[in-house]
Amino acid sequence: MSWSDNEEWLLIQAHKRTGKSAEELVALLNGYREQQKYPFDLFGSTLPAGDDVVLNETEMEICKLIGPKRTAAARAAGRVNMRKADPEKEKFIEINGLCGELTYAKRHNLYPFGQFEVKARSVRDDDGDHKHNGYVVDVKITEYQTGALSYADWKKKDTAHFLCLVTGDYRIGSRFVIRGYMLSRELLAEDRLGAVARLPNQYGAEQRELYDLATVFKKLKEQP
């Protein structure tokens, strides 16, 4: 079984930390991939008790490693960030976004297949971040602790079944909090465009309007 350069980096870090042989670590990696489970042993971390998630040094480092690679891959393919952010802001968006995606994977014990990949994708063509119980989730993150769940009106709207809001800022700490969830069809209803006053050109929902994951799966089961 082959793996990405980023997974190989993780294997090297795990070897340095644990002293385990390459054969042992490769077997662990392949096992996690096959079971589609989060590689806690390789990261040296444990399953969080709840939605308040702390990423450890290795988890933070891999986000900082992969973020700029993603940006470079997008530029090489001629993709343009629709936000037209300056380089430092774009770097923050990519790395913080990865932290949010990894937070979701760690919280729900999912293998971060998409996070280890480095491929060109524009903001417009984002196809979701994880598959959970057969459904696609798009993880959104904001650095503002009271920030809203939002979705730009120019993005593709048929890529994810539901969305998850995470808050946190990797520049000031490694704590990230999952604030709640909402079905895509509910967030992308026309009456939600501009519903959050500070986000006039985006579909939005305040944190108080979000619900838990059990409710997401119940709604999707009742009406896929």
Domain tally, the chain: 1
Q: Binning pLDDT at 50, 70 and 90, where does residue 74 land?
A: low
pLDDT at 73: 73
Residue 80 class from Cβ within 10 Å (0-12 exposed, 13-18 middle, 19+ buried)?
Answer: exposed
Q: Binning pLDDT at 50, 70 and 90, where does residue 1 land?
A: low
pLDDT at 117: 84
pLDDT at 81: 55
pLDDT surpasses 60 at 148: yes
**CA quadruple 177, 127, 39, 22: dihedral sign:** negative
Contact 159, 126 (CB under 8 A): yes
Q: Binning pLDDT at 50, 70 and 90, where does residue 53 land?
A: very high
Give pTM, 2 decimals.
0.92
The parent domain of residue 11 ranges over: 5-222
